[in-house]
Amino acid sequence: MTPLISRRSKALSGSAAVPGDKSMSHRALMIGAVAIGESRVRGLLESEDVLRTAAALTALGVSVTKGADGAWRVLGRGVGGLAEPATVLDLGNSGTGARLLMGLLASHPFTSQFTGDASLNSRPMGRVIKPLEQIGAVFNAREGGRLPLALTGTAEPVPITYELPVASAQVKSAILLAGLNTPGRTTVIEPKPTRDHTERMLRHFGAEVKITDLDQGARSIVLTGQPEITARPVTVPGDISSAAFPLVAALIVPGSDVTLTGIGVNPLRTGLLETLGEMGASLTVANRREEAGEEVADLHVQAGPLRGVTVPAVRAPAMIDEYPVLAVAAAYARGETRMEGLSELRVKESDRLRAIAAGLAAAGVGIEEGEDYLVVNGTGGPVAGGARIETGLDHRIAMAFLVLGMAAAAPIVIDDAAPIETSFPDFAGLMNGLGACIEEEKQP
């Protein structure tokens, strides 16, 4: 374990480009793998999670390589063209990698074994197993629908109509990817809209995806199965979920002025920007453009006072990964920030509600943890800090608390830097380049 210490930082300044979007990187590789021909992917996130997906696809017979120009090349085998793997597919820490790949393989008639690290092996898979069984796949999972598991895909997949019981882009995407090699139309109904990168990327590769708005924000997504999808170039924008860390750091470290360039601002991902705006953040979204069917922009942020707000449950899907760092912003805001509808945080890379509450309490911040809500009481001044945080194999808990330490009276230590590799390799380097003071803790 490599502990990191984050000390009070001087004003952050400058411009930075964060690594590529994790959600889009997984999808570019998986959809490229079943398109015909060679897709070039620029800006791919080269993190532990995405490299696990690349390795799994290699085991399924797909050539995935990095070219001298830095772009990745995926030589697709066509819809239904994946081959039985000779090894166990180890998705490491990645829920997205595991769940989306189970979807893709549900309609391939062979058996695969899935495993992951201690975090992934404790996460619920029943939410994808249930609809994929309806399509015809057979699962043999550990108690409670956990990994490791064996999946035998079906030779005769049945197109289903499935209403999501939880707002989950991973479940939606697993069903749509299974629908690719299924005759007829596969339909997903989502009560609350979740990130639509799969729908956008399927269209980008030439599949027919029909989206209809239903009552009260619900949507239906209909994929026409067995399309001839062909290789396409993809440019992956910067990950807004990674940008969130330098963004909040710049808000809470006095005197900061930072620009983050080329960030994906898909409207189903920008709940944090809306919330920080309501908190009074000086934050502008400039230079909006479109790349590979996704909106991209530069974010400019300046430090300044923040005030507590109520974040409604309906916004949760649009910022589901940003609550750890929002809680850090709330710790520096004046007044109470109430975040509602957070039950999904309990089944992320760790129980994030628990981890946020425990970490903030240890750092001297007033906090109330409910079953599915959090209340953070900020004073508007620096937090005490001086805490040692257990990251529990959770990258976002690790990075959020390093950000907390950047404006705290006493430093914050996280027990292990390794989980950060999941989504944001060189996090410390990028933050230190802007002026942060994050380094390995010298062991006494």
| C-alpha dihedral (137, 65, 40, 75), degrees to nearest 10 | -50
Beta carbon nearer to ligand S3P, 167 or 329: 167
Span near ligand S3P by CB under 6 A; candidates 32-40, 162-170, 182-190, 200-208:
162-170
Q: Which of 107, 154, 170, 422 binds ligand S3P (CB under 6 A)?
A: 170
Q: Which of 188, 164, 189 shows the shortest CA–CA distance to 176?
A: 188
Note whether 93 binds ligand S3P by CB under 6 A. no
9 binds ligand S3P (CB under 6 A): no
Residues of this chain, 314-343, that bind ligand S3P according to CB under 6 A: 320-321
Contact criterion met (CB below 8 Å) for 179 and 225 = yes
Amino acid found at 212: T
Q: How far is CA 298 from the centre of its chain?
A: 20
User: How many angstroms separate the CA atoms of 70 and 163, rounded?
Assistant: 40
Q: Residue 282 belongs to what H/E stretch?
A: strand 282-291
Return the residue of 39, 53, 93, 96 that touches ligand S3P, per CB under 6 A.
96
DSSP 8-state secondary structure symbol assigned to residue 315: G
For 402, the enclosing helix (H) or strand (E) is: helix 395-405
Distances (CA, A) of 184 to 19, 103, 133, 222, 223: 37, 16, 17, 10, 8
Determine which residue in the list 41, 51, 64, 169 makes contact with ligand S3P, applying CB under 6 A.
Answer: 169
Residue 21 engages ligand S3P in binding (rule: CB under 6 A): no
Nearer to ligand S3P, 12 or 100 (CB): 100
Please answer whether residues 194 and 172 qualify as being in contact, where contact means their C-beta atoms are separated by less than 8 angstroms: yes
Contact string (CB under 6 A) for ligand S3P, positions 39-78, x = contact: ----------------------------------------
Q: Is 73 helix (H, G, I), strand (E, B) or coil?
A: strand
Which residue among 93, 168, 182, 275 contacts ligand S3P (CB under 6 A)? 168
Under a CB-based contact definition with an 8 Å cutoff, are residues 308 and 378 in contact? Answer: yes
> For ligand S3P, which stretch binds (CB under 6 A), given 47-55, 168-176, 280-288, 357-365?
168-176
Q: Are strands 234-235 and 36-42 parallel, antiparallel or unpaired?
A: parallel
Strands 138-142 and 146-152: antiparallel
Q: Residues binding ligand S3P: what is the number (CB under 6 A)? A: 10
Only segment of 46-54, 57-65, 163-171, 358-366 that touches ligand S3P (CB under 6 A): 163-171
Calpha distance 61→300 (Å, rounded): 43
Stretch that binds ligand S3P, among 130-138, 155-163, 169-177, 306-314 (CB under 6 A): 169-177
Out of 39, 93, 154, 173, point to the residue binding ligand S3P (CB under 6 A).
Answer: 173
270 contacts ligand S3P (rule: CB under 6 A): no
Question: Would residue 321 show up in a list of annotated catalytic residues for this protein?
Answer: yes
Catalytic residue among 321, 351, 372, 394: 321
Binding site for ligand S3P (CB under 6 A): 23, 96, 168-170, 173, 195, 320-321, 344
**Which residue numbers are catalytic?**
321
